[in-house]
Amino acid sequence: MSEALLSEENSRLEKSLTILKHDLKEQQRKAEIEMEGKRKMESLLQELKRKLEEEQNKMTRELNNNQQVNDKINNLQRQVSEIQEKFKTEAEGSSRLRKQISELTVAKTASEQLANEMQSLNTSLQNQREALQQEVASLQGQLSQEKSSRIQASDLHKELEERLIKLHGDLDRGELRESKLAEDNRQMNEKISFLEKECVSLRSELKASQNRYQQEVRAHEETEKSRLVSKEEANLEVVKALQAKLNEEKSARQKSDLTCQEKERQMSMLSVDYRQIQQRLQKLEGEHRQEVDKSKTLQVQVEQEQMKKSSLQSELGFQTSEVAHLKAREAQLTVEVMGLRESKRIIDEELHKLKTQHSVDNLQMKELQDQFEAENFFSKLYKTQAQELREELDEKNKAIAELEEERSSITHQLQIALARADSEALARSIAEETVADLEKEKTIKELELKDLLAKHRVDISSKDNCLSSIKEKELELKRTVEQLMKEKEELSIQINKMHEDSQLIKGDELEKLHKQLKTEQLLKAQAVNKLAEIMNRKGMSTTSNKIKVSTSVLKKKEKECRKLQQELTQEREKYNQMVDKLTKDLQELQVQFAEENSSKLRLQMELDSKESEIEQLQGRLATLGGETASLSSADNENDEVYMQDSRLEGWLSVPNKQNIKRHGWKKQYVVVSSKKIIFYNSENDKQNTDPVLILDLSKVFHVRSVTQGDVIRADAKDIPRIFQLLYAGEGEARKPNEALDQSTFRSDEKPGTVMFKGHEFLQISYHIPTNCEVCSKPCWHMLRPPPAMECRRCRIKVHKDHLDKKEEAAIAPCKLHCDPNSAKELLILASNTDDQKLWVQRLSKKIQKCGYKANNFDGAKVSPRESTRTTLKPYSSAQQRSATLPAK
């Protein structure tokens, strides 16, 4: 008893001690609250003073801005009036320029016509010039021919003169020779006549000497005869004298014979000489005649040559006259050619002048057109500028009105926030009081809790036993359900087999069997009726009573069996209906769940994009001047968001599919906020807050540049611009339509598989009884099974038509989808290497600060009190961490 009293007193003293401690803490807390309230009121007073000064400055600036805007409006109106006047003058100038352009076009056409005429005249003159040049060339050729013929004639004349001189010399020589021959002939004739005379004298002397000789011979003979006759007798001396005289006469005769012989020889020689001279004379006469003939022919040739010379001289005079005429014609033609060249030069100069004038006119026309277009452009520009200035003025007025409205709303919000802060302070004080009371109660309750824990443990053990028994019952029920399902499957198999057998049986046999069945049913019914009659009879013997009892029992058993069979069939039908209904409900619920998940995912993605836009706007407000302080602790948690370095956005490219070479890249607009990486298809989607993909920065492992081994299917020149993001699958939120496009039919990863809603379908043919889990129709056949698909993960069986028709509502998502926590990678292509380095650097900083590693290792050190505590420093430096992120 004393120990119990001591323990009670000890517990009472502990309670009083704890109460006193709590009271002390409460008093200290109240004092701190009062001090904090005083400091807050002073800070609020200073902030209000500062805001009042800022508002006054803003009012003065706005007044100055309004005055400036009014001045701008006046200046713009004045500029508009000047522009209108300029436009009028430009319109007049443009009309004047149009008139000048029309006049210039007329002058241009006239000059073009004149140029065409001059060109035609120039072509005709060129043709005439060419014809004259051809004539001059032909005349020059004739002249050269005539000159060559004249030179030949002169050479021939010279040759003929030389031949004539030679012939004259030959003629003189022939005359001299003829005179010499005549003189020789005369001398020879004289010699011949002298020799003939001598010959005649010699002949006469010879005849005389012969006659004398004959007379002397005859006289000598007569004397000798007479002397012989008379002197034979005479004297021998006289005979000797006569013999001496005879010898002398013989010698004289011999001498005369010798002289006669010599004379005859001389005569023969002279006759020979005469004959030679006659022959020579004949030759000379023949030569003379030949020379006379030659002289006659030469005279004839000389006359002919003289005739030719006279004709050649006449022809030469004619040719010289023709040459002189041709030279005169050539001089005339050269003069004409010079004139034509001069006219051509003049025409060319005029044509050049016309062309230059035409080009100048064209340039002037172009300049005028450019001036006109420039004036039109400037007039349009002035109009657009005036309109833009008006629109800017309206927008500024609207902005001023909006700013005033925002100012009023901000002041209203500030008042509300102050009231809320007061109410929160009151609520906080009340809450702290209640917390103190609760802590008192807590200490009391802790002591009571210790007593209740033992009871609770006993209850837990009993409940665990109950749960184990319930689980065993549940297992037994599951086994029974499985047995029933197996029986159902066996029965369905048997029914299908019977159905197949019945289909295989022919019609006649089927009718016979139907007849037999009917007859057996009738016989059975008759037998049953007879048995019933027999069982209902009375007054039977004990043996019959025994039989009756047995038949009645049998009948009851059969009835009970029929009832049980009927109940069994009914229960089976009910069970099948319930199973079908539950499967349909389950499919509908799965579809609804998938739709709700997709809508939830879409809303979450929109919410994330809106949060990023809110963060961007808050950052802009913070950079613009920080007119409003953060009103709640949630705003102070994102201090780093307001800094300019924390936000990163731009155009990047992601792969369409895994095979980059075949499918290429898809350009997307990427925004990196403090917590998310958001991908948009375009800037319009960004404005409409319709993101395609959102990655949670807290689930990103790392970012790095890639190598050739990381991206085998990418171009080598694109590798320096590619970087890789590695993140957990649970941190990925993809647009449902986009996710469907990404994973509906991906045959690149595994050939023969079809990806749909997380399912990994394989095409299969069923030859055993199997039903579709979408339409409950059979998807099997013994010989020609319809095309079916089965998921490798959850083993769902569907017709292939449902996948071909893309019946999203009918097919539920896969229950055994791949682990969302598994790591995934995303390849991203930047526009250039500098952008890639910038993105990698900035993302790596982000991941170091709030990535997967930072959240999993450092986040455990942050207590709940620290996570909900605020610092009220919304515009601190970049080193300040968010309350939701782990502290360093």
- Look at 435 and 721; give whichever has higher pLDDT: 721
Going by pLDDT thresholds of 50, 70 and 90, the confidence category of residue 468 is confident
Q: Is the pLDDT of residue 870 over 50?
A: no
Q: Per CATH, which fold does 553-748+818-888 belong to?
A: PH-domain like (2.30.29)
Q: Report how far residue 301's alpha carbon sits from residue 388's, in angstroms, rounded to the nearest whole number.
A: 119
Q: Which two tokens stand for residue 774?
A: 């979408």
Q: Among 174-178, 290-294, 629-633, 645-649, which stretch is predicted with the lowest mean pLDDT?
A: 629-633
Look over the chain and give the mean of its residue pLDDT values, rounded to a whole number: 76
AA identity, residue 556: K
Q: Which two tokens stand for residue 104?
A: 């210039």
Domain edges within the chain: 15-134+349-456, 136-222+257-332, 553-748+818-888, 759-815
How large a percentage of the chain has pLDDT more than 70?
A: 85
Q: Report how far residue 23's alpha carbon sits from residue 41's, in angstroms, rounded to the nearest whole number.
A: 26
- 879, 849 contact by CB (below 8 A): no
pLDDT value of residue 733:
80
Q: Residue range 653-662: average pLDDT? A: 77
pLDDT value of residue 471:
77
759-815 has the same fold as 553-748+818-888: no
pLDDT value of residue 640:
43
DSSP reduced 3-state for 701: strand
Q: Which of 340-353 are b and which e, b meaning 16 or more Cβ less than 10 Å from the residue's Cβ?
A: beeebeebeeebee
Q: Residue range 802-831: average pLDDT? A: 73
Q: Among 313-327, 436-450, 667-681, 799-813, which stretch is predicted with the lowest mean pLDDT?
A: 436-450
Q: Is the pLDDT of residue 643 over 50?
A: no
Strand 797-799 with 788-791, pairing: antiparallel
Max CA distance (Å), the chain: 275
Q: Residue range 367-375: average pLDDT? A: 79
pLDDT value of residue 509:
66
Q: Is the pLDDT of residue 766 over 80?
A: yes
Q: Is the pLDDT of residue 69 over 60?
A: yes
Strand 732-734 with 753-756, pairing: unpaired
Going by pLDDT thresholds of 50, 70 and 90, the confidence category of residue 745 is very low
If you write DSSP's letter for every residue of 790-809 in order, what string do you get? EETTT--EEEHHHHHTT-TT
Give the up-direction half-sphere exposure of residue 802: CA atoms within 13 A in the CB hemisphere: 25
- Look at 143 and 799; give whichever has higher pLDDT: 799
- 840, 723 contact by CB (below 8 A): yes
pLDDT value of residue 454:
67
pLDDT value of residue 558:
79
C-alpha torsion sign, points 175, 179, 184, 189: positive
Give the up-direction half-sphere exposure of residue 637: CA atoms within 13 A in the CB hemisphere: 13
pLDDT value of residue 858:
44
Q: Report how far residue 510's alpha carbon sits from residue 502's, in angstroms, rounded to the nearest whole number.
A: 8
Q: Is the pLDDT of residue 885 over 70?
A: no
User: Alpha helices, DSSP H only, in 625-671?
Assistant: 633-636, 660-663
pLDDT value of residue 537:
66
Q: Residue range 770-789: average pLDDT? A: 88
Q: Is the pLDDT of residue 844 over 80?
A: yes
Model confidence, pTM: 0.31
Q: Which CATH number fits domain 759-815: 3.30.60.20, 3.40.50.300, 1.10.510.10, 3.40.640.10?
A: 3.30.60.20
Q: Is the pLDDT of residue 476 over 50?
A: yes
Q: Which two tokens stand for residue 254?
A: 């011999």
Q: Is the pLDDT of residue 124 over 80?
A: yes
What's the Cα-to-Cα distance from 608 to each of 560, 615, 883, rounded to whole Å?
Answer: 68, 10, 19
Burial tier of 280 (Cβ tally within 10 Å: 0-12, 13-18, 19+): middle
Radius of gyration of the chain (CA): 79
Query: Under 8 Å CB-to-CB from 618, ≥6 apart: which residues?
Result: 635, 638, 641, 642
What's the Cα-to-Cα distance from 25 to each of 20, 613, 775, 869, rounded to whole Å?
Answer: 9, 44, 70, 20
Q: For residue range 487-533, list pLDDT tens digits in order.
A: 777 877 877 777 676 566 555 666 777 777 778 777 777 777 777 67
pLDDT value of residue 788:
92
**Which of 199-208, 223-232, 299-308, 801-810 tops mean pLDDT?**
299-308
Q: Residue range 434-444: average pLDDT? A: 74
How large a percentage of the chain has pLDDT more than 90?
A: 0
Q: For residue range 249-278, list pLDDT tens digits in order.
A: 888 878 887 888 778 777 877 877 788 788
Strand 788-791 with 759-764, pairing: antiparallel
Give the position of tokens 């994102």: 638
Q: Which residues pair with 653 in a beta bridge?
A: 667, 829
pLDDT value of residue 874:
33
Q: Report how far residue 399's alpha carbon sits from residue 687's, in angstroms, rounded to the nearest whole number.
A: 20
pLDDT value of residue 110:
80
Q: Which two tokens stand for residue 429?
A: 């004080």
Q: Report how far residue 585's alpha carbon sits from residue 721's, in angstroms, rounded to the nearest whole number.
A: 51
Query: Under 8 Å CB-to-CB from 702, ≥6 apart: which residues?
Result: 726, 844, 847, 851
Q: Is the pLDDT of residue 630 over 50?
A: no
Q: Is the pLDDT of residue 818 over 60?
A: no
Q: Residue range 820-844: average pLDDT? A: 83
C-alpha torsion sign, points 50, 56, 57, 61: positive
Q: Among 52-66, 223-237, 771-785, which stretch is predicted with the lowest mean pLDDT?
A: 223-237
Phi, psi of 53 (to 5 degrees): -60, -45
pLDDT value of residue 738:
61
Q: For residue range 580-623, list pLDDT tens digits in order.
A: 887 787 778 877 777 887 888 888 888 888 888 888 788 778 77
Query: Under 8 Å CB-to-CB from 37, ≥6 apart: which residues?
Result: 425
Going by pLDDT thresholds of 50, 70 and 90, the confidence category of residue 357 is confident
Q: Report how far residue 62's alpha carbon sits from residue 399's, in angstroms, rounded to the nearest whole number.
A: 12
